[in-house]
A and B are shown apart, each in its own frame.
Chain A
Amino acid sequence: MEKETTLYIGPQHPGITGNMMVKLKVTGDTISSASTHVGYLHRAFEKLIERRNWLQSFTILCRFCVPEPDPMELTYARAVEEIEGREVPERAEYIRTIVMELARIQSFMLWYGGQSGSSGLYLVGQWSVGDRNYILDLFEDLTGGRVYHMYIWPGGVRRDLPEGWKDKALKTMDYLEKRLDEYDKLMFDSTIFQKRAQGVGIIPKDKAIEWGVVGAPLRGTGIKHDVRIDEPYCAYDKLNFIVPTQEGGDVWARALVRRQEIRQSISIIRQALDKMPAGEFYNKIPNPMKWSIPAGSAWVKTESVRGEVGFYVESDGSNKPRRVHVKGAAYTHGVTVLEKILVGQNIADVSFILNSLGVCPPEIER
């Protein structure tokens, strides 16, 4: 019988997806229990927002998650719109859809890097993060910013598509689609990746929903649930796309789901660019300093790469939010789900599993 020891991974471990720590009890190489420790990047965003007005808040909210800030902007905007009853022009809905999908693609690119890097395949990450810059270029042209776009705000979007942007976007999509095949050769076809991914970090199908699993990890267990279909927002109900699922619930299944989703995202962007109507892109809010929202609350969900992002927004009728509570997928994935599925796994797989769950620590402590 080997002795049980305690091992801390993180917060500065390169394989961890951000500033958090996993405290492991290990016997040999095998994990017997795990617990998540956060507290390394608490910025009290939710508290800060209570001191800021409804418009100022949206510039903080995008900072909840660096890899994919746009769903935060969108969810907040939709929640405010729901409470206030503000209409959003149709063109804005299409632009928002495109931004969301671009955000998903660039986040997938980062995931490629994390997922393959944590199994030792560094080249894919170098390629994908390089190619991600072409999407950031699109974002820069559209929003004026590369990582934090602060582009989707209540009432619509801040600026219309610039001239020539549509063609540029389509070209980038063509390019990326070709590149995806090359990533496949390096990653999905690779025996190393397959060996590492299959049968690792299994989420049981019958427990997945109850455990609070959402997004790609849930679809990786064969359960078809996607907010974009179940509660369509933006222009998703006017576009055709499939929600891919895989059986198995392991890292491999989750990776395959993402591999298919990125192709769906490209297709959605093409359709949205094609179908986008002309017209207004912004239903202007009043003077932001005096803009009050009627009392009320809203619970709004958006599908991000990591799973669903939910915002609970409460207004007391003043010009500042009473409460904005953000629930990212990592809040369950990174704590209770991770603690459960790590049991019995190998130490070397910790960061591999973390990446496959898409854990973003800033969503746990905001």
Chain B
Amino acid sequence: MNFFDLKGLLQPLGAVKQLGKKPHTINYPYETKRTADRYRGLHYNDLEVCIGCGNCSTICQNAAIDMINIDGITAKNGDSGLRPRVDNGRCCWCALCVEVCPTGSLSLTKDYIYVTPDANAFLWTPGVSNPDAKNNISFTSDTNLSLSMYQRVPMRELDGMERVKSFAEVVLGYSEEEARAEAQRCISCGLCSNVCPDHMHIPEYINAIAQGNDNDALKIIYDNNPFPEMCGKVCTRRCEDVCAIQVRGEAVAIRWLKRYATETAPTAQKIKDIVNPIIAEPNGKTVGIIGAGPAGLTAAYYLALRGFDVTIYEAQSYAGGMTMFGIPKYRFPLDSVKKQVEYMESIGVKIKYNTKVGRDISFEEMHTAYDAIFVGIGFQKAWTLGIENEDIPGCIAAVDYLNIINRGDSFDVGKKVAVIGGGNVAIDGARVSARYGAEVTILYRRRISEMPADWEEIEGAEHEGVHIAIQTIPTRIIKGENGKVSGIEYLKAEMIADENGGRPRPVAIEGSETILECDTVIGAIGQEADYSWLPESFKAKIEIKRGMMIVTNEFNQTGDPKVFAGGDAVNKTADAISAIADGYMAVKGISKFLLGN
């Protein structure tokens, strides 16, 4: 090649032929660039769908997302009331916030031009500052693409037809591997803790399980719940109803994870070893507790830890209250309660069995003997059905029935059983009867969707062959020739919309009388408390309204400052976890009352 290489000099001139061709650059008149269908532009947040879990803020590695209070959004169950605000000066449009948004409220739009001379104006709240952007959404996540894990690790259970043969526990529990996988789904927002009556530290113990530190998980659980095994099996778990994952998928199995953590400590000694509670020096104060149910035991446990001298008076020969004999064994084996009571006794809780306040010891006596009293009596008396022939043989209240069966005694239900009610107790009665080979029908006034029982329980009952007759109102029990129950008559009902906006009411259809043949009628329409132990002299101070004890502050103190109360007789939710929460709050109250802290 020499310097005057003609080809090498002329070839580049070929570029001249591009003259006159349509340019590839900007067109005139100016056209805005079309952005791609999945363009990652500015944020948009659907404020109605957003629950303020803050997962976007957590994943943002640029710390560009703040969670803030905004006007018009208030906190409620399952919504922290906070909404994300984006610092667009920090955002790098990686869209990980969209990928991890459990509800799918957050998305990126096709808008990418945002010009302002005011540097502070780059800080704005998606959905509030750009409401119109909802028509321009591009980068979104659906449940398949999202990094939230919407599928629950399935819980292994006994097969329906296998279950009815025995009282073996139906739910088999998570294996270690399953528990770790399930715990990984949690996004640690804490919406669950907020609705838990006891405010258990759910994100923390789940995270401990996820990281493989089961002991720490158990320790965290025992921080404010001494009955985790029971809660791990039969809790009403309102936490799962508000789980952030539940918005688009299946809630994290909080209850089963708690159960898993408690199963790592099979004996009372093991619990003590793991939890290794710090027991304060005796402070010389004494507390008397009426009733060894969840509320009473909880109060006793934490009071004992704080150095109080605690004595529980229990009318029955066992501790645990409703949880001991009110829950069928296939849901909650008796050993569980025994183990936990044993653990509590080991740290210094004293329980006097077969000692009924008002019979074996008077309330006045207790009142003088102790510095403070906690009343956790629960509901022991079942409501009567209020229909004809209710007192004949073959007719029994569900709580009594469960009690008899759980104690190991027998009760012949015959071949056909009718259960009246729609709560967990009704389902328990039905499923227990099914285990004795009976053909069971549940009579419920409203629709299945309105049954207060857990959906898992309803489903479990149906799998076990229990028939549910909805919109039925029992009118009388039919007495057979032998003087026993031979059937039940009921009216069909239709649902009439409530004019005041309440839920529809069942109204009997005239002339729709139907007779269901049965050998046993189990009533499960509710229970109430028995206040015969409370002397009249105290009733002026300790107020009782509509069967409930009235407490005057968050510490569950009654009108008598020395007396605290909790459990079913106090709170309206009437479940074990609320009772535990009451007990726990009363401990704080008693400490404050007696020690001033």
Contact A141 B36 (CB under 8 A): yes
Q: Is the CB of A144 within 8 A of B139?
A: yes
Scan residues 273-304 of chain A and give those whose CB is less than 8 A from a CB of chain B. Answer: 282, 284-292
Q: A55-B96, A186-B15 are in contact. Are A289 and B187 (CB under 8 A)?
A: yes
A191 contacts which chain B residues (CB < 8 A)? 1, 3, 5, 8-9
Residues of A within 8 A of B14 (CB): 182, 185-186
Q: Report whether B59 and A289 are in contact in the complex, using a CB–CB cutoff of 8 Å.
A: yes
| Contact A290–B186 (Cβ < 8 Å) | yes
Q: Are A194 and B8 CB-contacts (below 8 A) given A286-B184, A290-B184?
A: yes
A39 contacts the other chain (CB 8 A): no
Chain B contacts for A140, CB-based, 8 A: 35-36, 39
Which B residues touch A14, using CB under 8 A?
Answer: none
Given A123-B15, A191-B9, A289-B58; A162-B25 close (CB under 8 Å)? no
Residues of A within 8 A of B61 (CB): 52, 56-57, 59-60
A349 located at the interface, meaning its Cβ lies under 8 Å from any Cβ of chain B in the complex: no
Question: A185-B15, A194-B1 are contacts. A287–B186 as well, Cβ < 8 Å?
Answer: yes
- Collect the chain B residues with CB atoms within 8 Å of residue A288's CB: 59, 96, 100, 147
Q: Which residue on chain B has the smallest CB distance to residue A131? A: B24
Nearest Cβ in chain B — how far from A139, in angstroms?
9
A238 at interface by CB-CB < 8 Å: no
Stretch at the interface among B87-95, B428-436, B526-534: B87-95
Point out the residues of chain A lying under 8 angstroms from B207, CB to CB. Answer: 290
Closest Cβ neighbor of B23 among chain A residues: A130
Nearest CB of chain A from residue B492's CB, rounded to whole Å:
49
Query: In the complex, which of the residues B38, B147, B210 contacts A159, with contact meaning CB atoms closer than 8 Å?
Result: B38
Cβ-closest chain B residue relative to A181 = B14
Shortest CB distance B62–A (Å): 8
A177 within 8 A of B: no
Query: CB-nearest residue of chain B relative to A195?
Result: B3
Known: A141-B36, A144-B38, A190-B12. A56 touches B96 (CB 8 A): yes
Complex partner residue of B138 from A137, A144, A186, CB under 8 angstroms: A144
Interface assignment of B148: CB less than 8 Å from any CB of chain A: yes
- A307 → chain B closest CB, angstroms: 27
**Counting CB contacts under 8 A, is A148 at the interface?**
yes
Q: Is A150's beta carbon under 8 Å from chain B?
A: yes
Q: Is the CB of A130 within 8 A of B147?
A: no
Question: Does any Cβ of B come within 8 Å of A85's Cβ?
Answer: no
- What does DSSP make chain B's interface, helix, strand, loop or mixed? loop
Name which residue of chain A comes closest to B207, CB basis: A290
A-side interface residues, number (CB < 8 Å): 41
In the complex the two chains form, what is the Cα distance from A159 to B145 in whole Å?
8
Q: Is B327 an interface residue (CB 8 A)?
A: no
Q: Is the CB of B94 within 8 A of A59?
A: yes
- Whether B185 sits at the interface, judged by CB under 8 Å, is yes
Taking the nearest CB of chain A, how far is it from the CB of B597, in angstroms?
37
Alpha-carbon distance between A140 and B184 when the two chains are bound, in angstroms: 33
Partner of A287, one of B3, B40, B148, B211: B148
Interface residue? B188 (CB, 8 A): yes
Name the distance in Å between B178's Cβ and chain A's nearest Cβ: 13
Distance between A290 CB and nearest chain B CB, rounded to angstroms: 5
Could you mark each residue 197-227 of chain A with 1 if its beta carbon is under 8 Å from any beta carbon of chain B, else 0? 0000000000000000000000000000000
Measured between beta carbons, the chain A residues less than 8 angstroms from B99 are 158
Q: Is the CB of B183 within 8 A of A290?
A: yes
A256-281, CB under 8 A of B: which get 1 and which 0? 00000000000000000000000000
A145 interfacial by beta-carbon distance below 8 Å: yes
Q: Does B577 contact A (CB under 8 A)?
A: no
Identify which of residues 115-149 in chain A touch chain B, using a CB-to-CB cut-off of 8 Å: 121, 123, 130-131, 133, 137, 140-141, 143-145, 148
Which residues of the partner chain A approach B186 to less than 8 Å between Cβ atoms? Answer: 287, 290
A60 to B1, CA, bound (A): 49
Q: Is B11 an interface residue (CB 8 A)?
A: yes
Q: Does any Cβ of A come within 8 Å of B149's Cβ?
A: yes
**Distance A137 CA – B36 CA, assembled complex (angstroms):** 8
Complex: A284 Cα to B181 Cα, angstroms: 13
**Distance in Å: Cβ of A159 to nearest Cβ of chain B:** 6
**B407 on the A face (CB < 8 A):** no
Contact A189 B24 (CB under 8 A): no
Residue of B58, B92, B186 contacting most chain A CB atoms (<10 Å): B92
How many whole Å from A117's CB to the nearest CB in chain B?
14
Q: Contacts of B36 on A, CB cut-off 8 Å? A: 137, 140-141, 144, 162
Least CB distance, A351 to chain B, in whole angstroms: 21
Point out the residues of chain B lying under 8 angstroms from A292, CB to CB.
Answer: 211
Q: In the assembled complex, how far is the CB of residue B34 from the closest CB belonging to chain A, in whole angstroms?
A: 9
Residues from chain A with a CB closer than 8 A to the CB of B94 are 59, 148, 150
Task: Determine if B7 is an interface residue (Cβ-Cβ < 8 Å).
Answer: yes
Q: Mark A174-189, 1 if CB is under 8 A from B, else 0.
A: 0000000010011001
Closest Cβ neighbor of A121 among chain B residues: B12
Residues in chain B near residue A148, CB distance under 8 A: 92-94
Asked if B37 is at the interface (CB within 8 A of a chain A CB), the reply is yes
Residue of B nearest to A319 (CB): B211
- CB-nearest residue of chain A to B100: A288
Q: A144-B40, A162-B37, A191-B9 are in contact. Are A56 and B147 (CB under 8 A)?
A: no
**What chain A residues lie within 8 Å of B12 (beta carbons)?**
121, 123, 185-186, 189-190, 192
Query: Which B residue sits closest to A191, measured CB to CB?
Result: B8
Residues of chain B within 8 A of A60, CB atoms compared: 61
Please give, as numbers and ranges, the residues of chain A lying within 8 Å of B55 by CB-CB distance. 289
A59, B138: Cβ atoms closer than 8 Å: no
Interface residues of B in 309-340 (CB under 8 A from A): none
In the complex, which residues of chain A have a beta carbon less than 8 angstroms from the beta carbon of B148?
287
CA distance A140 to B36 in the complex (A): 6
Q: Is there an interface contact between B37 and A286, defined as CB atoms closer than 8 Å?
A: no
In the bound assembly, the distance between CA atoms of A52 and B61 in angstroms comes to: 7
Neighbouring B residues of A286 by C-beta, 8 Å: 149, 181, 184-185
Q: Which residue of A lies closest to B40 (CB)?
A: A144
Task: Give CA–CA (A162, B37) in the complex, Å.
Answer: 9
8 A Cβ contacts from A93-115 to B: none
Assembly CA distance A14 to B436 (angstroms): 89
Complex CA distance for A58 and B569, rounded to whole angstroms: 56
Task: Say whether A144 contacts B145, CB under 8 Å.
Answer: no
Query: Which residues does chain A contribute within 8 Å of B100, judged by CB atoms?
Result: 287-289
Contact B185 A287 (CB under 8 A): yes
**Which residue on B lies nearest to A188, using beta carbons?**
B11
Q: How far is the CA of A151 from the CA of B92 in the complex (A)?
A: 14
CA distance A16 to B159 in the complex (A): 72
Instruction: Assess the A284–B95 pair: CB atoms within 8 A.
Output: no
Instruction: Verify A287–B149 contact, CB threshold 8 A.
Output: yes
Task: Find residues 130-176 in chain B having any chain A CB closer than 8 Å to their own CB.
Answer: 138-139, 145, 147-149
CA distance A144 to B110 in the complex (A): 9
- A156 CB to nearest B CB, Å: 11
B96 contacts A185, CB within 8 Å?
A: no
Closest-by-CB residue of A relative to B10 is: A189
Other-chain contact of A289, B95, B138, B188 (Cβ < 8 Å): B188
Interface, chain B (partner A; CB < 8 A): 1, 3, 5, 7-9, 11-12, 14-15, 24-25, 35-40, 55, 58-59, 61, 92-96, 99-100, 108, 138-139, 145, 147-149, 181, 183-188, 207, 210-211
Q: Apart from A123-B12, A194-B8, what are 12 other A-B pairs with CB-CB below 8 Å?
A: A144-B36, A144-B38, A144-B39, A145-B39, A158-B145, A162-B37, A185-B15, A189-B8, A286-B184, A286-B185, A287-B147, A290-B186
Q: Which 5 A-B pairs have the closest CB atoms?
A: A191-B8, A189-B11, A59-B94, A56-B61, A144-B40
A-B pairs with beta carbons under 8 Å apart, 8 shown: A60-B61, A130-B25, A137-B36, A144-B40, A194-B8, A286-B149, A287-B147, A289-B100
